[in-house]
A and B are shown apart, each in its own frame.
Chain A
Amino acid sequence: MTWASLVHVVISGLATGSIYALMAIALVIIYNATRTLNFAQGEMLMVSTFVGWTAMQVLQAPLIVALAVAVIAAALLGFVLERVVIRHAISATHFDVLIITLGLSLMLRSAAGVTWTHDEFPFPSFFSNRPLIVGPLRVAPVSLGIIGASLGMMLALGALFRWTRLGRAMRAVAQNQRAARLMGISVERVYSSSWMIAAVVGAVAGVLIAPVIFLSSKMGLVAINGFTAAVLGGFGSMPGAVVGGMLLGVLENLAPLYLPASIKHSVPFLVMITILIVRPGGVLGRVARRKV
């Protein structure tokens, strides 16, 4: 194995890794607001990507329209799901809300299958497929594009959390809901915006990854790797989500080089089990300590 091909593997690993990171961020945003693991995250991504794609097909419009429509659809979907379903269960236990999002994910996937069939569709990409050749290095522009766009998205989110009123409110709610409410923050509004922002992050990730893994009702499964990434970095931490996602992407691409090829699909699960057993707080996180 030459170092050039190693660089190639690592870069494509970072590309899938940034998608995992985006998924992990979306999950963490919802977790921080409503203390729920959103099992429907992947299906929300899938549905909004499908909606964007359909708009593009119907209007014969350029790809950017698909992205815009997907983002709007996602925000709407996130808003409606939170308002209609999750809000009613907010006083319930985690267990119950977890089951509800699980039910939602089954419903969304099935509804997508009924609407768009369970086939795989090719999805256009913003980036060309021709490899970029720099000296001995061959790099796919798709990978670089995905990494760049994801980093841009992460910076935007970082800015949102750091400098806007809404971002501060979201961080306050994540730290202590009761105190946030006493400071006059509308916690309900934070729930709503968290679900919308998470859905939008998912939609962007969906449009970025669809050219690589095809558009299909199954593409929501990518969210499982998002869970793993979030756990790997320490659930609840944004920088952890980014690091976890990148790490998982690279691991997943490197593992088949050194281990039997059939192991690739098990990598995320093995990583998840190992990290949960060895270091439940994640590589960056504090050890998850149980509170009374």
Chain B
Amino acid sequence: MRRAALATGAVIVLGWPWAAPRYFVFLASLIAVNAIVAIGLNLLSGYTNQLSFGHAGFLAIGAYAAAILTIRAPALPVPVALLLAGLVTGAVGLALGVPCLRLEGLYLAMATLAFGFVVVEAILNLEILTRGNDGLHVPAARLGPWSLATDTARYYLVVAVASLLIAAAVNISRTRTGRALLAVRESEIAAQASGVNLAAYKTLAFVVSAFYTGVAGGLFALVVGFVSPDSFDVFLSVDFVAMIIVGGLGSILGSVIGAALITTLNDSLAGFQNYRPLIFGAILVISMLFMPGGIASALRRIPGAVAWPPFTRRDDR
């Protein structure tokens, strides 16, 4: 059953560029990019209960790192550029995560919110590297003999990276580390009493989350082909939070579903800019009031439904 579901999923994902129009291939790439961010954010918020409103800032750092690398060092293979983007962002995550250990709940939310604003201001002011408000055009990256110039090529790159990161996240969640993170979420005191090093695991969650988001940022730069400070405002951070709320906190499948839903919704509402936040806000409020576990936990309640979400959130309050 599970294998069949996975295989069907794989066939659909791999066959997509041949079945769908070009624009939807681009959209699917964006969904995959956002899914990576959502998983990263979920590792932080869903697992260790540290809410971040600053992930647009991490995405911006990753995107600019990849863009600058591709422009300055065109010979650099894509995987290396993405890895570097992730590592740079991970380092920033470490720098932010350590002082944030002292904060929780509201304070952490506010500190990360402020972080997002500061990143945008920094991009605007570091004009030598970032060209400020004008933004950067990202040339087509090269992977060995191929140039990633078409939407389809970029789609496969994004899907490959996303699958790798999803598999890694699923595995992390099943290891000692994943169980430690879950323990931290359930009760910091109980976790500490059981020998979980709180500071180390919370920092680790921050770094891994930033790394995921940084890699996603690099992919974002390649897929969109253009980065500017406008793309990374605070509302993007809110979108990411919406993805994991709607999808389900602490669920990897939920993160992917949430990313797909919110990205598609965003895209289909592009013509109604004025109403977009209204609908978005309503979705947040309604899903929090009536479906606090997100779609992932709603799925779990349907008998006989795919028993795939590999770890379950404690049943809703």
Residues on A facing B (Cβ under 8 Å): 31, 37, 85, 88-89, 91-92, 94-96, 98-100, 102-111, 113-114, 118, 224, 227-228, 231, 235, 260, 262, 265-266, 268-270, 272-273, 276-277, 280, 288, 290, 292
Give the contact stretch, choosing among B78-86, B103-111, B305-313. B103-111
The answer for the CA separation of A229 and B283 in the assembled complex, in Å, is 30
- B277–A95 contact, CB under 8 A? no
Smallest CB separation, A292 vs chain B (Å): 6
**CB-CB nearest in chain A for B284:** A103
The answer for the CA separation of A94 and B106 in the assembled complex, in Å, is 8
With contacts A235-B106, A265-B121 known, is A276 near B278, CB below 8 A?
A: no
Smallest CB separation, A209 vs chain B (Å): 20
**Which of A31, A89, A111 is within 8 Å of B289, CB to CB?**
A89
Q: Which residues of A contact B281 (CB under 8 A)?
A: 102-108, 110
Interface residues of B in 257-278 (CB under 8 A from A): 274-278
| B212 part of interface (Cβ distance < 8 Å) | no
- B110–A227 contact, CB under 8 A? yes
**Which of A85, A114, A231 is within 8 Å of B274, CB to CB?**
A114
29 A–B pairs (Cβ distance < 8 Å), ordered by A = A37-B106, A85-B285, A88-B289, A89-B288, A95-B51, A95-B105, A96-B288, A99-B241, A99-B284, A102-B284, A106-B280, A107-B278, A107-B285, A110-B274, A110-B276, A110-B278, A114-B274, A118-B274, A224-B113, A228-B110, A265-B121, A270-B114, A270-B118, A272-B110, A276-B102, A276-B110, A277-B99, A288-B107, A290-B104
The answer for the CA separation of A40 and B207 in the assembled complex, in Å, is 30
- A280–B102 contact, CB under 8 A? yes
Smallest CB separation, B18 vs chain A (Å): 38
Smallest CB separation, A222 vs chain B (Å): 14
Q: Which residues of A contact B115 (CB under 8 A)?
A: 269, 273
- A100–B288 contact, CB under 8 A? yes
The answer for the CA separation of A266 and B104 in the assembled complex, in Å, is 23
| B125 part of interface (Cβ distance < 8 Å) | yes
Interface size class of B (residues with CB under 8 A): 35 or more
**Which of B99, B189, B282 is within 8 Å of A103, CB to CB?**
B282
- A92-B292, A106-B278, A276-B103 known; 4 new pairs, CB 8 Å cut-off, are A100-B289, A104-B281, A107-B282, A266-B121
Most chain B beta-carbon neighbours within 10 Å: one of A105, A107, A231? A107
Smallest CB separation, B275 vs chain A (Å): 7
The answer for the CA separation of A251 and B104 in the assembled complex, in Å, is 26
The answer for the CA separation of A270 and B125 in the assembled complex, in Å, is 15
**Which of B189, B274, B278, B288 is within 8 Å of A99, CB to CB?**
B288
Smallest CB separation, B111 vs chain A (Å): 5
One digit per residue, 1 when the CB lies within 8 angstroms of any chain A CB and 0 when it does not, for chain B 116-145 equals 011001001100000000000000000000
**Which of A104, A262, A280, A292 is within 8 Å of B103, CB to CB?**
A280
The answer for the CA separation of A228 and B107 in the assembled complex, in Å, is 10
**CB-CB nearest in chain A for B189:** A292
With contacts A110-B274, A110-B277 known, is A98 near B118, CB below 8 A?
A: no
Q: Which residues of A contact B106 (CB under 8 A)?
A: 31, 37, 94, 98, 235
The answer for the CA separation of A96 and B276 in the assembled complex, in Å, is 21
Smallest CB separation, A219 vs chain B (Å): 16
The answer for the CA separation of A94 and B103 in the assembled complex, in Å, is 14
One digit per residue, 1 when the CB lies within 8 angstroms of any chain A CB and 0 when it does not, for chain B 39-50 equals 000000000010
Q: Is the interface of B mostly helix, strand, loop or mixed?
A: helix
- B285–A103 contact, CB under 8 A? yes
Q: Which residues of A contact B51 (CB under 8 A)?
A: 95, 98
**Which of B124, B277, B288 is within 8 Å of A109, CB to CB?**
B277
- A114–B278 contact, CB under 8 A? yes
Q: Which residues of B contact A265 (CB under 8 A)?
A: 121
The answer for the CA separation of A273 and B107 in the assembled complex, in Å, is 10
| B176 part of interface (Cβ distance < 8 Å) | no
Q: Is the interface of A mostly helix, strand, loop or mixed?
A: helix
**CB-CB nearest in chain B for A109:** B277
| B60 part of interface (Cβ distance < 8 Å) | no
The answer for the CA separation of A31 and B117 in the assembled complex, in Å, is 24
Q: Which residues of B contact A272 (CB under 8 A)?
A: 110-111, 114
Q: Which residues of A contact B49 (CB under 8 A)?
A: 95
Smallest CB separation, B42 vs chain A (Å): 13
| B317 part of interface (Cβ distance < 8 Å) | yes
**CB-CB nearest in chain A for B283:** A103
| B159 part of interface (Cβ distance < 8 Å) | no
Q: Which residues of A contact B289 (CB under 8 A)?
A: 85, 88-89, 100
**Which of B102, B105, B117 is within 8 Å of A277, CB to CB?**
B102
Smallest CB separation, B162 vs chain A (Å): 25
Q: Which residues of A contact B283 (CB under 8 A)?
A: 103
Q: Which residues of A contact B245 (CB under 8 A)?
A: 99
Smallest CB separation, B314 vs chain A (Å): 12
- B107–A106 contact, CB under 8 A? no
| B27 part of interface (Cβ distance < 8 Å) | no
The answer for the CA separation of A179 and B238 in the assembled complex, in Å, is 37
Interface residues of B in 181-221 (CB under 8 A from A): 189
- B124–A96 contact, CB under 8 A? no
The answer for the CA separation of A31 and B105 in the assembled complex, in Å, is 13
Which 6 A-B pairs rank lowest in CB-CB distance, beginning with the nearest?
A: A103-B284, A106-B281, A107-B281, A110-B278, A269-B114, A110-B277
- A37–B109 contact, CB under 8 A? yes
**CB-CB nearest in chain A for B285:** A103
The answer for the CA separation of A204 and B282 in the assembled complex, in Å, is 27
The answer for the CA separation of A263 and B275 in the assembled complex, in Å, is 33
